[in-house]
């Protein structure tokens, strides 16, 4: 009897620890479950924050233009460009990127990867063209609440399942994903391990996890599940996770 091949996700030797820098009205902030009315300001100088995470050994930075996510077009371009120019490590950017021209503009500004989320739901032709043209520089953000995708800065609910969207994106050529559990984001609880594991085992592509990561044990679990990376936001700013320790044990 022939053996049936069963896919096993890649178990990364390390998990990439990626500090998050969320920008709203020019400041570095964190939201609770994406709620703009539950905002904590951590710094008036996002560039300084970026340089701080770089100095502590961060291999990459995750930048979110919150104003852009809400409006549908990049708002904090000057700060984003300054961060990309100031740091020596690669950056990835999400928030309001819904045009192919904007993708190109961000890459020319020095950002290494762009994250397409709302566009993945509303403009699959854009995703296809972006993947053909920019390949590894394109990430699709899977932003889910109770398993279903939310768009437009997490303010619009859909009936589209997270795994369903990811599968369709793989068919269009997407090579990397970020999975964010909205209900866990900014809560310092724990990641949605079951949803992350399901996504990794289904799509067979690199997945970066976000939302609720607040301990070294969470990072170890995500690595065991096969996550390529972990985006850490609030836990770094509150001190629940020490970046140097996280990097040393990743």
Catalogue the active-site residues.
Answer: 22, 143
Q: Return all residues near 107 (Cβ < 8 A) that are at least 6 apart.
A: 114, 134, 137
Give the integer Cα–Cα distance in Å for 104 and 134.
8
Q: Residue 235 carries which DSSP code?
A: H
| Sign of the C-alpha dihedral computed for residues 81, 229, 138 and 125 taken in this order | negative
Number of neighbouring beta carbons within 10 Å of residue 164: 14
Number of neighbouring beta carbons within 10 Å of residue 13: 7
Burial class (CB in 10 A: 0-12, 13-18, 19+), 5: exposed
Helix (H), strand (E) at residue 51? helix 46-55
Instruction: List strand residue ranges (DSSP E) for 25-164, in order.
Output: 27-32, 35-43, 61-65, 91-94, 113-116, 138-145, 148-151, 156-161
DSSP code per residue over 3-36: PPP-------SS-EEEEEEEEETTEEEEEETTEE
């Amino acid at each position: 009897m022939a053996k049936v091949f069963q896919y096993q996700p890649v178990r990364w030797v390390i998990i990439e620890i990626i500090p998050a820098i969320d920008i709203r009205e020019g400041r570095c902030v964190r939201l609770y479950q994406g709620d703009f009315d539950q905002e904590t300001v951590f710094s008036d100088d996002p560039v300084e924050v970026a340089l701080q995470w770089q100095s502590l050994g961060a291999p990459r930075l995750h930048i979110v233009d919150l104003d852009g996510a809400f409006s549908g077009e990049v708002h904090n371009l000057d700060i984003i460009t300054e961060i990309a120019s100031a740091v020596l490590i690669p950056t990835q950017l999400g928030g309001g990127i819904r045009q192919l021209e904007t993708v190109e503009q961000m890459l020319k500004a020095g950002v290494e990867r762009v994250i397409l989320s709302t566009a993945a739901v509303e403009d699959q032709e854009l995703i296809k063209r972006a993947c053909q043209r920019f390949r590894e520089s394109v990430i699709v953000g899977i932003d889910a609440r109770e398993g279903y995708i939310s768009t437009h800065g997490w303010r619009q609910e859909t009936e589209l399942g997270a795994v369903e969207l990811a599968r369709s994106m793989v068919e269009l050529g997407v090579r990397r994903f970020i999975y964010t559990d909205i209900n866990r984001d900014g809560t310092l609880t724990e990641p949605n391990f079951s949803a992350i594991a399901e996504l990794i085992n289904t799509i067979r592509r690199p997945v970066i996890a976000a939302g609720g990561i607040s301990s070294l044990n969470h990072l170890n679990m995500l690595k065991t599940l096969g996550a390529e990376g972990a985006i850490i936001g609030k836990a770094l700013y509150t001190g629940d996770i020490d970046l140097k320790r996280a990097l040393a044990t990743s």
